[in-house]
Each structure stands twice: as C-alpha cells, then as structure tokens.
Amino acid sequence: MKHYQILLISLFFLAPTLANSAHAVPLKFVFHDFAPFSYQDENEKPVGILVELAQRFCQEWLEPCSVSVLPNRRAKHLFAAGEVQGIFLGWNPERATSMWFSIPMVETEYGFYSLHKLSFSSLTQLSGRTVGVYGPSNTYTSLMLQQQKLSQLNYEKFKTAIYPQGDELPLKMLNKRRFSAYYVNKEVGRYYAEKLGLNNLNYLSTHKHIYYCVAFNMEHTSAETVKTFNHEFQRLLNQGKLADIYQKWQMEPAYLDPIMYPEMNMPY
C-alpha cells in the first residue's frame, strides 16, 4: 500500500510533464541578426535576449531542440520550407492569419531617431521629409501606419529609404544626414548608437506595445505543439527560471491579457 501511495504521488507531480510530452516534438528555432534581441557575437556565437530565452526553453523541452542565428532571407526561406519550426517575428494582424504565435516573449516599441539639431517632437514635423527604415519587416509595416496617420491629418506623406538589414548602416546614414529620421525598434537603435558612439540623437516614440514572439508555420506545426510550447514557456516564467536573462538584458517579461490570445492566434 505504501508503494502504491508513492506511485500515485509521483504520477501527480509528473502529470503536467506527461501531458506536455504528448505534443512535444523536435523543434528548431531560427533567428536573424537583430541586436540586441538576436545576433552573433565576435566569436559567431548566437546571443541576445530572445536567443537566450529560446535556449533556456530548449533545456527544458523533452525532445531535441536547437537555436540558430542566420541572415534574414535565409531564416525566412527555411521557415517557409518547413525546415525549421519557429522563427523570431514581431506580431501583427496580417502575419496572424497564416501563422501561429507564441505568447509574447518581449514587449517593445518603435519610434524615430533623429539628430539633436532637428529634434522632432511630433509626427507631423516629418511631413515631406525622408525616413530611413529596415524592410521588408514589421518595423516597415508599422511605419506605414504612421504614414496613414499623416494622410488622415491632411499632411504630406514622408518618403522612405529602405535598408535590407536592421544593423548600424542606417544610423551611419542618419549621422551623415542622408535622411531626416530613422524609424526603428527603440532598443535596436539604442544598441547600435552606443556601438557607434553616437550620443547626438533624439528619440520620438510613436508605436508602443510591440510584441516579439516565436512564429510557427501553420502548414508544418500543429496548434497543439504551439500550445505545449506556450504552456512550457509560461511555466518557466512563473517559476522564475527566465528572470536572470531578462535582468541581464535590462528588459521585462511581456504581459498580455490571456483573453487576447485567441484573436491573436496564440494557442493556449
């Protein structure tokens, strides 16, 4: 009887793990060069807050699980072909029609960096000017929303200078006054500004509550697998197993009311 009681107690504590294992499949995650969220250091080691969160998750996953950082186009090709299950993307409504999403891993924002001499304080001051942006990307999609706001206010639209990578090059061009402002993730802009030693920049916040997640291809990954991923990630958050990573990168876990998960295509 004593052994039977021990078995029942053991099964009770193992139940969540056993339930999750039913939909635990081998997972490969791919990230693109987007510091400080995901990039390769000088030794070509994948680093960044999202990379390290995914790596910590992989340590707990019951099946083989890997994380890599690749050039953006290569990463998207592998994802579309089903050769990897998950890719780092910013959530937006259009993407949510064809992809499952993890619960948010990081909440961030977009805005305009400009030289102090210009110091834009409102969107309307950018009317008729040229704005640099990384695209195609979620950042570019957000910039087009800012464009719509100008049109609705009957202001002339701004022109865009599109760069294929969200690295230091656009900030170098901003410093050379090739365009008036650079629209970018706040943390990305700050990271590269510090790397380049640029301290003559002004920042205008325009789009808050941007959620960075892992996206899953609906054609190659089941909703149940994504649900299991989300439950496991939430468990790690609740148990404080990710706290050191957020602290290291000076960021906070994202919070989104679970009532929003269904309409945002986040299986939970």
Q: What is the pLDDT along the chain (268 residues), one digit of tens a residue?
A: 434 333 333 333 333 443 455 566 899 999 999 999 999 999 999 999 999 999 999 999 999 999 999 998 899 999 999 999 999 999 999 999 999 999 999 999 999 999 998 889 999 999 999 999 999 999 999 999 999 999 999 999 999 999 998 899 999 999 999 999 999 999 999 999 999 999 999 999 999 999 999 999 999 999 999 999 999 999 999 999 999 999 999 999 999 999 999 999 999 9
Other CB atoms within 10 A of residue 7 CB: 10
d(CA 51, CA 69): 8
Considering all CA atoms of the chain, what is the largest pairwise distance in Å, rounded to the nearest integer?
Answer: 81
How confident is the model at residue 10, as a pLDDT?
34
Fold of 108-209: D-Maltodextrin-Binding Protein; domain 2 (3.40.190)
Residue 103's closest CA among 219, 244, 259, 241? Answer: 259
Fold agreement (16-107+212-264, 108-209): yes
| Segments making up each domain of the chain, as ranges | 16-107+212-264, 108-209
Residue 137's closest CA among 174, 94, 90, 96? Answer: 90
pTM of the model: 0.85
Owner of token pair 């070509």: 44
* List of residues 6+ apart from 218 with CB closer than 8 A: 98, 99, 100
How confident is the model at residue 178, as a pLDDT?
97
How confident is the model at residue 165, as a pLDDT?
86
How confident is the model at residue 14, as a pLDDT?
37
The CATH number of the structural domain formed by 16-107+212-264 is 3.40.190.10
State the Cα angle at 41 between 161 and 65, rounded to 5°.
100
Phi and psi for 68 in degrees, rounded to 5?
-140, 160
First to last CA, the chain: 38
d(CA 20, CA 163): 42
How confident is the model at residue 23, as a pLDDT?
60
